[in-house]
A = this chain, B = another copy of it.
Amino acid sequence: MGQPKYLTGDSAAINAFIDQFDVFLLDCDGVLWSGDHLFEGIVETLEFLRSKGKRVVFVTNNSTKSRPDYQKKLTALGIPSNVEEIFASAYSAAVYISRIMKLPAPKNKVFVIGESGIETELRAEGVPFVGGTDPALRRDITPEDFTGLADGSLLDPDVGVVLAGLDFHINYLKLSMGYQYLQRGAKFLATNLDSTLPTNHTFFPGAGSISIPLINMTGQNPTALGKPSQAMMDAIEGKFQLDRARTCMVGDRLDTDIQFGIQGKLGGTLAVLTGVSKKEQWEAEGANIVPSFYVDRLSDLRAAAS
């Protein structure tokens, strides 16, 4: 496979790159910021792209935040944005359930393993749910739970979907409930399958490490609604009516962001070196995920402005 074009410091190449695209799908963590630290020059770079008539869409696998939550984070970091420019995996999952699955009542409730961002998005789409942040499930499993889950008396008969995202309050009880719903025929969805959550310059368990016990127990793989799942790309395309050939995916992770753009047959993919993946990964022999362009940092694109 060919190697990506390196744009940093090459104004002519950057101008040609920008001219190729109308839409930039931007991963956030590792591209715009790390944790709560905004990278230098990001606000100016986004302004520069917008000033050239480009549309930017913030695309994130973070499932703990709703779009309004996410906009608050962007605002707090000084990044101007609109809720409609934000596409997060919790929103992607809620839209998939309400507009694509369209489960008939009464068997249309969602058992949520995850945080409030998922609940907010489900509520906005009018999807009924149980679980999630319910304090009644944030406790140890009891002998009564074992019998009540086995005979089904503790289960909601209207649950037709198990949706698993990142849950900082994961426990044995929730995993047991999720398993019982799946065994009774509920559809299995995941906001995203990232194995890790990069934060504080290290890694913590990601959404994919919350759902994997259920995969292990049932032998079923969930339909994932985050990058690199093309269910998310289809939803983005449907919403923004974008021309894939003139759209570029920008990200720091080869296995989620860059793969997402390649599988989605976008016009291009741009890797940045401010996050997880290193250039040694695509330079390695037999590398199977190679971006079309790369820069050291996103703000290197501003060089074309001067």
Contact = CB atoms under 8 A, between A and B. Distances in A.
A240 interface: no
A305 interface: no
A97 B154 CA distance: 41
Which one of A138, A171, A176, A205 has the greatest number of beta carbons of chain B within 10 Å?
Answer: A205
Interface of A: 138, 140-141, 146-147, 149-151, 167-172, 175-176, 179-180, 183, 195-196, 199-206, 208-210, 212-213, 216-217
Contacts of A216: 195, 208-209, 212
A152 to B, nearest CB: 9
A168 B208 CA distance: 20
Nearest to A206: B217
12 contacts: A138-B140, A141-B168, A146-B200, A146-B204, A149-B202, A169-B172, A170-B170, A176-B205, A205-B213, A212-B212, A212-B213, A212-B216
A271 B179 CA distance: 27
Contacts of A171: 169-171
Nearest to A173: B168
A209 B213 contact: yes
A118 B179 CA distance: 26
Given A199-B146, A200-B147, A172 B217 contact: no
